[in-house]
Amino acid sequence: MTYNAPLNALKAFEAAARTGSFTAAAAELGVSSPAVSQQVKLLEAFWQQALFIRQGNRLSLTDAGQTAYPQLAQAMGSLTELSARMQSDEIRKTQLVLSAPHSVVETWLPRKLAPLMHTDDYSPIDVRIDDDPIDFVRDKIDMRIFFGHDLYGDFQTENLIADSLIAVASPDFIRRFGSRVQDLPDRYLIHTHWGSGFASSPNWETVLPVGKTVNRSLGMSVNSSSTALNFARSGFGAALIPAEMAADDLSLQRILQMDTEAKELPRSYRIAYPKRLRFNPTIVCVLHALSHWPIQSE
């Protein structure tokens, strides 16, 4: 049976060989010089080979010591790098990781989280943009904002926002073409691919008068609500946007709501997180901010 050399003995030998003295090695390791000398003797006994030629306070490596030191120094360096990396990861993990779809991060999430900045115990958050489904463990995610579906049934989930779709366009576009969506040519209707969260994707025909059909091939198509909002803001046409996503642009009059009734979305924005974190103070503060509950400083 093969036994490994004692780790403390290896550390003492590596430090003594690198610094050239037991005294310097002892200062680095935070022990006494005799303790370093004793550990080196243990290693020499374990390997049954002399590692140093001792000349007063001076040390020089024997042939065996010269054989062992380079490989041991490399191994100790790798351990030091690993320790630094793991400590860095641990510091990173002190920040809560919040994952959300691109359109949410680009529109209403900063506004909803803004009250956190005014609390005494504010803690920075690591915000990530991901598509569903995410893997909480693999991706080291603490909270996930999503729309509607039931992919995270094993986690604690909360309803956040019930929203509705509204038709919007830029002020200049409305001055040119009017605010009645039913009067717009099909080429000025921006279509959004809503993704897997919608069992049946909302489209223009759900807000237009019954019987009116739309030729989707004539209009612009995009793959996210925030992209549709950007193109509507730039005057490319009218877009169907969740009201929460359009709120900031509406308040600044960069876009205007067109003359159609809001279409209530069948599901809410929701948030999921591991049940073991339900009392985590940062998660509680985020939930308060996103759910419009009062945020209290500790």
281, part of any domain: yes
CATH, residue 271: 3.40.190.290
Yes or no: say if 8 and 41 are a contact pair by the CB < 8 Å rule.
no
Residues 6+ apart with CB under 8 A from 274: 136, 142, 155, 156
Residue 297 is predicted with a pLDDT of: 36
Domain closes at, from 66, 93, 120: 93
35, part of any domain: yes
2, part of any domain: no
At 175, list the tokens: 């001055």
- In the chain, the number of structural domains is 2
Yes or no: say if 104 and 281 are a contact pair by the CB < 8 Å rule.
no
Residue 6 is predicted with a pLDDT of: 86
Q: Do 116 and 76 belong to one domain?
A: no
Alpha-carbon distance 15 to 12, whole Å? 5
At 152, list the tokens: 């995270």
List the domain range (segments joined by +) for residue 215: 97-298
Residue-by-residue pLDDT tens, the chain, 298 positions: 556 788 899 999 999 999 888 998 999 889 999 999 999 999 999 999 999 998 777 888 999 999 999 989 888 888 888 777 665 555 555 689 999 999 999 999 999 999 888 877 778 899 999 998 999 988 899 999 998 788 898 899 999 989 999 999 999 999 999 999 999 999 999 999 876 545 456 789 888 887 788 999 999 999 899 999 999 999 999 999 999 999 999 999 999 999 988 999 888 999 999 999 988 888 998 999 998 654 343 3
Q: Do 135 and 207 belong to one domain?
A: yes
CATH, residue 54: 1.10.10.10
Q: Do 154 and 285 belong to one domain?
A: yes
Domain closes at, from 38, 69, 93: 93
Give tens-digit pLDDT for 120-176.
Answer: 777 889 999 999 899 998 889 999 999 878 889 889 999 998 999 999 999 999 999
Residue 246 is predicted with a pLDDT of: 97
Q: Does the model's pTM come out above 0.85?
A: no
Q: Do 135 and 268 belong to one domain?
A: yes
User: Within a 10 A sphere around the Cβ of 157, how many other Cβ atoms?
Assistant: 16
Q: Do 282 and 237 belong to one domain?
A: yes
Give tens-digit pLDDT for 1-22.
Answer: 556 788 899 999 999 999 888 9
1, part of any domain: no
Using CA atoms, how far residue 119 sits from 31, 95, 141, 253, in Å, is 45, 16, 23, 30
At 4, list the tokens: 């490994």
Mean pLDDT of the chain: 88
At 199, list the tokens: 């069992």
